[in-house]
Chain A
C-alpha cells in the first residue's frame, strides 16, 4: 500500500507549481507556433525567401547542444534520486559534475545565439522587417530568455549540490529545475525545424 502511495507521489516529478508554469509556457509557445503557421500560409513565398537568410548550421549545433544538456541534467537528477542516507554527499558531488557540463552547454547555446542575433541585426533586420522575421525574433528571443532563466535555475541547483543540499527526502528542487530545463529543450526541438528547416 505504501509503495503505491510512494510511486504516486513521484509523478509528476518536482513541485506542482513548476508544472503549472510548464503548461502555461507550452500553451503560450503553442499559440505563437500556430500564429507562425497561419501567417506563413498567407505568404509562403516571403517566409521561404526570408528563411534562407538564417544560418541553419548554427541552429543545428544549438539543437545538439540543448539535447546534450538535457542528457547531463537527467544524469544529475538520476544521481540525486538514487541516493541513500549513507551516500548522499557523494551523489550530490556526482550530480554537481553533471550540472557543470549542462551549464556549459547552456552558456554555449547563448553565445552561439548572440552571434546569430548580431548577424541578423547587422543585416538591418528588426521586428518590423516582415512577418517572418517578427516571428523569428519573437520566438527565438523569448526562447533565449528562457535559456537564460533555465541556466540561472541550473546554477542555483548546482550550488545546492555543492553544499550537499539534496537528501533522499528532499529532491523536489532539482526535479523542478530539471523539468523546466527539459521544457526549454522541448520548445527548441519544435522551434528549430519550424522556423529554420520546414519550407
Chain B
C-alpha cells in the first residue's frame, strides 16, 4: 500500500479515528528536506503495509491541521496511536529511527 494523502477534511477519519497507528508527514512541495524524507516513508509504507498507515499532509493546502498541531517547521513527522500523537520529530529522520518507534507502538 502506498502512502495516503490526508487533508483538513479527512484527517479525523483517517488519522484520529484509525484503529491502527498512523505516521503523518507534514510536508510541502517547496521543502527540500521533505524530498529526502519521502523515499524513506515510501519504504516504510511497503514494509508496514496493513499494520501502520503512512499519511502525508500538505501544509500549504491544509493550514488548519498544521496549526492545530503547532507545526512550524517541516518536515515534521508525528506518530498517532488511538487518535493521540505519541511521538514527534522535526527534520529528516532515518528509517531505523522511525521503524524503532513504530515497532514500540505495535507491540
Q: Do A and B bind each other?
A: no
